[in-house]
Structure 1
Amino acid sequence: MNNRDTNRVLIVDDDPLFLMMLEQFLVNQGYAVFKADSGVQAVSIFKEYLPDAVLLDGDLPDISGVEVCQQIKQLPEGHHIPVIMVTAMNDESFIDQSFHSGSSDYITKPIHWAVLKNRLSYLLQVKETTSALQISEARKSAILNSTADGIITVSPLGKVIDINPSARQIFDLPEDDTDLLLHRYLPSFQELLAILPGSNNISRTKAIRFNRKNPEGELFPIEVSCSRIMHSSQELYSLTVRDISDRIAHEEAMKLASSVFNNTSEAIVITDDKNVIRSVNPAFCKITGFAEEEVIGESPALLSSGRHAKEFYDQMWKQLQTEGSWQGEIWNRRKSGELYPEWLSINTVRNSETNDVLRYIGLFSDITQRKKYEEDIWYQANYDALTDLPNRTLFSAKLKEAIVRQKQEGRPFALMFIDLDRFKEVNDTLGHSYGDLLLLEAARRLQKIAGPENLVARLGGDEFTALIDQKYTVQQLEKIAERIVSELRKPFVLNGQELSYISGSIGITFCPGDATDMETLLKHADMAMYRAKEAGRNTYRFYTEEMNSHALHRIRLEEELRYAIEHKEFILFYQPKLDLTSNDIHSVEALIRWQHRTKGLIPPIEFIPFAEETGLINEIGEQILDIACKQLQQWQQKSSPVEKIALNISSCQLDKPEQFFSGLEDRLNRYGLRRDQIKLEITEHLLMGKDDNVIAQLHHQRQSGLSVAIDDFGTGYSSLSYLQVFPLDELKIDQSFIRNLSENSKNKTLVQAIITMGHALNMSVIAEGVENQEQMDFLIDNGCDQAQGYLLSKPLPAEALDNWLADNFCRN
């Protein structure tokens, strides 16, 4: 019931005094009061404020109280509102009219206030109770009409009292067929009563299942539960009927799913939306080695093999989010630590209404055996059974890939065709078993030389091919070919028998230089290989004549350099360095020349780069170091003004710094020289890329007295940071800056800057290539420390330098 503080009462009377008294009384009782002095005003106030009760005078100046009551009761909001007639008229006719118009009570004037108080309170309580009952009935009716269950109310005699729409729909009953329901579609009434567990407990229910036919004659399962209810002291029975066709179908599906889940050979793992494992089947445990209790609550990441990059899993999850599923091959790890391949399918289960992820379902199978079988089949189809090298099939595929890659990415490559010389003689004289052993050993040697980054294949018989990535220079390719020729020329020992007459002939062609299709490339390589055989075997030939000529030149050059090293054909010329402060000569730069036995004097530019490529520079460097130290000892013995020699060092010589400096130390000791009498000149290019060990060795040597100069400074390789990292004593300004000094103002500025920078770094600065007095004057004016060049002297042999010094300088 509403609290009196909240109840609102409309009072209607045309007597102002009575209206005031009535208002005062009701306010004192805790009511909220609205007043009207006419019928029309009363109806208007009612519509606006919707009071909880109306006290209405029967005799109003405009319309009668009976008419006002009728208008209020006709309103949707007014039919349940109590109206009390408060009037001085008490004749029987008016009383009848009042109650017929819908008034709830009748009080005559003068008012008995206690009676009014109690009647108004009672009517408001009745109103509240009636409203609550109406709401309850409406709610029950809504439930009965909206539930999917059929609800049937039956009397103790089995008569259907009420039936809801769902029951009619379940049995497809027309409106007039209700009485036949129990007889046609349900068990007998007594059978239904028998399922009640006890006659004294009205709250307990029990259900039975049975099949019935619908009007079309089709059987369908239903479930009926029966319970006793009391209504107005009368015992009734409530039957709840359910069509359980869908439920039974769902139960059967769940049984089937459970059977599949527990008996399938495929592993199943179910995770929640946070990817936490909630369920696994027996196959999962069998494949992974984990027990169910070990993985529940864990992430599937505990199976991770570590073989896949983060990007692999990122792509997997991206596809799961966008497409709802993912499948593919993945490597995982068993509990034992063993890695294994599996074929995995993952599906995302989402809420059909909100689209939120509910769970992920993963199914996978161990494909170890399948992959091994597939790999075995693939290997047999693509690899040579004897040598385990790629066969013609795989080689052709790889060659096509290389051609496509070259066209798309511009990556050239070389193709080598290798044929064993005199292989047929082995088969004819010693038998095929020896021929097989020879092929095995030849394949091993070829693979060792080519390395894992290049492909070696056996096409058949004694024919091999090699795909060489063109990250190698032509010179490096020649070295690879030379190594192959050398290795195949070495004796083969087969079953204790040495074969020393086997060799190899190689044809080399390039893509795209010679051809861009497989057939032409193979034809060119084959033609070049036969050219090698025509040239006497045991050699290699390029398909292009130009390359052949170049390769032959390099072969001859290497042979002649080795001869020169063996016969000590290298000599030194010396160019003096002028001290621009004292105008004295104290040091010279040693410059190598090759005194060829037939070609005469060869400058270093024609052989030093090749010597560096082939590694012969180290042997040449050892000879030059010995010649220079010996010459310095001789000058020292005859009191020559030359006290120091500068030696040019190749970057190759510092690849093994301990070995180089050990050789230098030996010669200093042998010829009685000090460390400060030797200056090493290294180019800017040499500074690039040397490791910390080289830097540490140079620092150690400098601390021991050895001087280090940077040669050809300014030619574009250096970074100023190297000038701080390397222990340098001297900067040599490249002659290209000095040569154009008088013609190019920028060169003057650069030379000035180099001199200033060198001095700021506590280094001496020397200019090379000084050829005229104008250049010399500029260097002196700008504080350059030393100079060398043809203005002073060209490089001279030791004896000619001695004569030059005697003619132009004395010791002091």
Structure 2
Amino acid sequence: MNVPFFSKTQFDLLYGNSKDLVFFLKQDDQTFRYIYVNPSARLIFKECPIKRLLQEMVSTEHLNDIQSNYLKAIDEQTETTFQDFFLFSDVQLVNETTVKPILFEGQQYILAITKEVSVEKEIEEKYAFMQSLLSMTVDPTIVVTNEGKIFDMNPKFEDVFGYTLKDWRGKHYLNFPFIPSDERNSVESHVESNLKGEAKSSVLVKRMKSSGDVGTFLVSYSPIRKDGQVVAMYILLQEVSDELELKESLRNTRHILESYKRAISTAAMVIMINPTGKIDYVNELFVDVTGYKRDEIIGKPFQTLNTNRQGSDFLNTLWDTLLSEKIWRGEMRNQTKFGSVYWGDTTVIPLFNEHNELENILVFQFDITDKKSVMTELRNIEKTFKLITENTNDLIAITSDDGMVLYTSPSHDKLLNFENEQMLGRFYSEMVAEEDQHLWNEELFERLNSGEEMRFEMRLKRTNGELIWTETSIIAVQDADREKVFQHVIVSREISERKKLEERLRFMAYHDNLTQLPNRSFLLKEFPDLVQKANQLESSIAVLYLDGDDFKSVNDEFGHDIGDEFIRHFGIALQASVRTEDLVARIGGDEFVILINNVSKNPNEQKLQITSIIDRIQTSLKEGWKIKNTSFTPTSSIGIAFYPEHGATIDELLEKADVALYEVKRLGKNQYLIFDEYQ
């Protein structure tokens, strides 16, 4: 099959010995028919392509790309070049095709020449990659493909961790020895989430360096995209140099609270109140909002800020809530120095000391004055409503009286990934988490339509299934077009971080900040429940009062950092020696308390049970542990008392166990004694 202006002989003379793949095709409507191919090109076809159509010889996944580039060259009547190239994969060949359109006597032809340019393209892409990496060369950096294979690493990574690109390129990153086996699932999950754009871009980890030291690193993830798809991931490990300073700042609850106050000062007003109700501290945002200078407000009663619209009953209820060790949350109507009113979305947290005495009251206030104004205007002015909702981070929605969505603010797309069009005509309850569906019921609508404003916390679902906490207010407004028909205006503010903060503060109030074990306050709070359970089971509770033998010498010889780590290991050893239903607490210094539940009241069986547990404790301590290549095998003296035999309250039992402990110390340490055995 010859072409008048270009014979088969001419084609073979020009391209017969070429290593490039050469195709000569004739346009046939919107497709192409093969006229000639050279020997190199013939090798890629299972059958002879001559006189066959393009779609008969090319796979579907490549057809559209080839055909569109052929048609582009014809439409523009100019030479066109396109590539089949993907660096971050196992494909080894990279092809570049040049397409030349030829028009002869009204018939359109295509001459396509395909060359392998793998080496050139890898150099080009590698150069771009290295340029982007230059900004991170001061810290260890690796690049992994979306399949988890190591593609590249910088010299700093090789130097810090002792691995080389030559040995590790192409291997899976989870095989790095510095990733502990018990962390591999979480590391893999974190990387996969980042590849999908669903997780935090950084996380704090500990990793072994080539020097043998364990370093703390902030690991940051940066996706590499091609054509909108994530093809690889930069992983940068930045060593944290102020870990010792951080440890020092965590030595007591006050330091921790100060760090939290600094973290939220830009977003919330922070007020610290003493047990007498007087203000001890306010942050800068409080000064900006209220107009009070610090020396004008510190030492004044908290009631100074109250507008008297929330009277003594309100304050008494607030105070009773705090004294019952509960966190109070709600709205406060306060006034500035100049008499103007501001509303605060308020969280009030009572802080108790180790003697379970109220030490301070911490108040967080988010200024919601604008939000309150918006809610008022929403009832009357639709134009103002739209203006505000289009520019707020709060989630604002309007539904029909049966809960069908009529409008959602753009913030739904930002926070939940729901676009307005996706929700229109659907029920708002579809966004509510299953755990909170009970809030969305007929009673709710009846109360709304009777004029009540409903306010509660609930979780909303993102499109990916993830849940966020919100504080939600709902009011009913008269439908503009239909009498006795209401629409519901729903305003939700995300409070996920606040919920986490509340849980963290609650944990700190009842746990020792060094060992993370329960503290004395926790014992006082939990013991009545343990007593009730023991009475139901007709069993006893053993109170073991432990005092480490010569622990002070560890601090004296090795310093406080080693001493702190020693105490942490001691707490871990105690936890490992008892059952999950038992309770281990640190009540100060080197003193620990263990509550053993469900102990027999029979004296012989009782002693056998306690002896078995103490044997496990002593065995665990004898095995000891290492801290910075130093082995420790401590001992402990133990005093024991039983409920109800030796007392009915935790204070009575601790006092008698302490008496037994004192006698053990007098007799020579590393022993145990039950309260009534030495009398």
> By the TM > 0.5 criterion, same fold?
no
Determine which structure has more spread, i.e. the larger CA radius of gyration.
1
Q: Which structure: greater helix fraction? A: 1
Normalising by structure 1, report the TM-score: 0.32
